[in-house]
Structure 1
């Protein structure tokens, strides 16, 4: 059964077990504003695959790189801002290429970059 990347389907106990962390850690991340799980009508937290990937990133930053939660918050905000700027740049390139082609939409994106955090495991 395949789920949408953003579909909230995982209970806190499942996420905690899969990631080998205490559910209280997930609650703390939520209190700090680092994650925002969905809630059922009964107020039960449900996590999507996107949430889980974000938690994995938080864990890599805190465990592997020794960054505190305030630093993680700054990194995540900067990462989102960079993605927004990249989207805006691509939209502007598209607009520019439409104008250069006399209104005909033939877009050519000459350069596209992405901000990725790459971690190397110690051997």
Structure 2
């Protein structure tokens, strides 16, 4: 979705966007990144850009999703600006949500797939915002 080389160029090698166990602020150093939606291998490029998309543990929000969810998400993290596009859609402004509040998952009921990646998450707390 976004290019690690662009992240290094704009934010520096020490600031790669990664899934952090402890929240990390990016807003003070953030520079707008380009997000490009490409068709899946052998897929068509006529599909619209999704309003919400997970990529490497980060939540992408389209312009429309950002307008709808900004007030809900802002108290819980950073909405880092991006410009997104595809073969069929002109560039628009969106965001990547960087949560700054973290609650623990229930390790007993959460699962991982055969690659060790998270397949499902369950929580024991009412602190989850959605």
TM-score of the two chains, using structure 1 as the length reference: 0.23
Greater RCO, 1 or 2 (C-alpha within 8 Å, sep 6+): 2
Structure number with the higher strand fraction is 2
Over alpha carbons, which structure has the higher Rg?
1
Structure number with the higher helix fraction is 1
